[in-house]
Chain A
Amino acid sequence: GAGVSQSPRYKVAKRGQDVALRCDPISGHVSLFWYQQALGQGPEFLTYFQNEAQLDKSGLPSDRFFAERPEGSVSTLKIQRTQQEDSAVYLCASSLVRRGLGAGELFFGEGSRLTVL
């Protein structure tokens, strides 16, 4: 596809269940970002990849959150032992340029809406 693709679009999990959210960035995009957006809030930074390297994971809220991008394209955000406060829309964005080479535009996916019961 032409844009960033995320799956699943909607996920309902029982508290304590593990979930995995997938992001397919635009082909050739070097940078990939994950954001968490709670209801009524702006996107909150979680983590950032440049190719397969995770360069910043300072926004991950706990060690239950883990992200990977093993081949520098598709990325997976995994949340272990989900809690109700994890309920949010998880946004993935990709960018053509590397950090520091000017203002790279972020291209967003439609998001994965996670509801933890």
Chain B
Amino acid sequence: GNSVTQMEGPVTLSEEAFLTINCTYTATGYPSLFWYVQYPGEGLQLLLKATKADDKGSNKGFEATYRKETTSFHLEKGSVQVSDSAVYFCAIEDFGNEKLTFGTGTRLTIIP
């Protein structure tokens, strides 16, 4: 079945630092890829997605590119803010029933 390997946390960065959270996957076919974010005390929210190879998903200054050749979907942001402190989950969607398989999550803390 599908699986997602996500960069272990926690990650602590200073404000305005560059962020990368690595995510690689194994899957059959050509799944859609997602990053979800969970802010403190809130539910899971979709951050961005990409549905085919070389697509770039972007939102709130975050970006991730669907790399089929390396089976990766790394999350990046050029200048993080304190408000970006949250847990980030990489996920892959099954073809057919479209259930999501999640990575373990990466807790990000940004310090002023």
Q: Check if A and B associate.
A: no
